[in-house]
């Protein structure tokens, strides 16, 4: 929580806010320099994780189909054994009734063999399709991984170039925040979120708000200069920390 002495003047409060804004703007510039690369890297990482999950799903489905083939192969073997057993029994029947009963059992097991063969063919066909899916998805994974590696290298270069400045600014920000009142920090953070350029505290420049560029009336400018109270832009709500003096060239 930010700690500020009770005797802090309005001018000091505005100075603390302006200092924090300057630091945050410098950090924003570093992030802007990196562009969309961090987000692109995160998107690629998420996409690759999704692709890997998909490949894992395909492989589990293939394993399940192979298990079904194995079950049907065992069923077929058992039925073939029974057919041979019943055929042997047919050689020793005592009447036509026993012969017909065994013949029906043989027919039943032969149907089981045909059904097992049919199921195995279907499962093998599905496995072929799944393996095609795996191959296609692995190719996509390979290319996306190459894209990610390239983006990461590019981002690493940009980070290394600005890492020292970023760390210094983050330490400066940590110190600067301590001098900003909590009741001012909350609206400051909200304003920064609301505006794409991250400007929450601005100066009046050339008679206009430094954030939205709407004209600030002379009397309001005078009030801002007096630093008797914190004044916000009536158009955009940004905190107006001061009025920038414009130096005009002297006439000769």
pLDDT digits over 191-228, tens only? 999 999 999 999 999 999 999 999 999 999 999 999 99
Edge-first strand order for the sheet with 231-232 is 208-209, 201-205, 239-243, 231-232
* Beta-ladder partners of 208: 205, 215
pLDDT bin (cut points 50, 70, 90) of residue 250 is: very low
Query: pLDDT exceeding 70 applies to what percent of the chain?
Result: 94
pLDDT tens digit sequence for 125-135: 999 999 999 99
Which sign does the torsion angle of CA 18, 24, 26, 32 carry?
Answer: negative
pLDDT of 248 > 50? The answer is no
CB atoms within 10 A of CB 174: 10
What is the mean pLDDT of the segment spanning 146-168? Answer: 93
pLDDT of 231 > 60? The answer is yes
Instruction: Write b or e for each residue in 224-247: b if 16 or more Cβ atoms lie within 10 A of its Cβ, otherwise e.
Output: beebeeebebeebbbbbbbbeeee
**245 or 77, which is more confident?**
77
The rounded distance, in Å, linking the Cα atoms of 69 and 63 is 10
Q: What's 239's DSSP letter?
A: E
Mean pLDDT, the chain, rounded, equals 92
For the chain, state the CA radius of gyration. 39
On whether the CB atoms of residues 159 and 34 are closer than 8 A, the answer is yes
On whether the CB atoms of residues 118 and 76 are closer than 8 A, the answer is no
pLDDT bin (cut points 50, 70, 90) of residue 7 is: low
């Amino acid at each position: 929580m930010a700690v500020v002495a009770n005797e802090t003047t309005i001018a000091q409060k505005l100075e603390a806010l302006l200092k924090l804004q300057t630091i945050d703007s410098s950090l924003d510039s570093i992030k802007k320099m990196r562009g969309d690369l961090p987000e692109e890297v995160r998107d690629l990482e998420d996409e690759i994780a999704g692709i890997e999950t998909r490949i894992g799903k395909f492989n589990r489905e293939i394993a399940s189909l192979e298990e079904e083939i194995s079950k049907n192969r065992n069923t077929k073997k058992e039925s073939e054994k029974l057919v041979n057993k019943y055929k042997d029994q047919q050689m020793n029947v005592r009447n036509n009734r026993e012969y017909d009963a065994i013949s029906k059992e043989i027919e039943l097991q032969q149907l089981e063999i045909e059904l097992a063969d049919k199921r195995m063919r279907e499962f093998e066909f599905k496995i072929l399709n799944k393996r095609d899916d795996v191959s296609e998805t692995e190719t996509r994974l390979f290319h996306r991984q190459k894209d990610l590696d390239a983006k990461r290298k590019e981002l690493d270069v940009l980070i290394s170039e600005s890492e020292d400045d970023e760390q210094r600014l983050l330490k400066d920000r940590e110190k600067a925040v301590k001098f900003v009142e909590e009741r001012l920090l909350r609206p400051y953070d909200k304003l920064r979120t609301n505006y794409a350029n991250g400007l929450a505290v601005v100066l009046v420049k050339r008679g206009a708000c430094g954030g939205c560029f709407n004209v600030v009336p002379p009397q309001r400018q005078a009030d801002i200069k007096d630093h008797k109270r914190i004044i916000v832009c009536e158009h955009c709500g940004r905190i107006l920390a001061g009025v920038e003096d414009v130096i005009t060239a002297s006439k000769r």
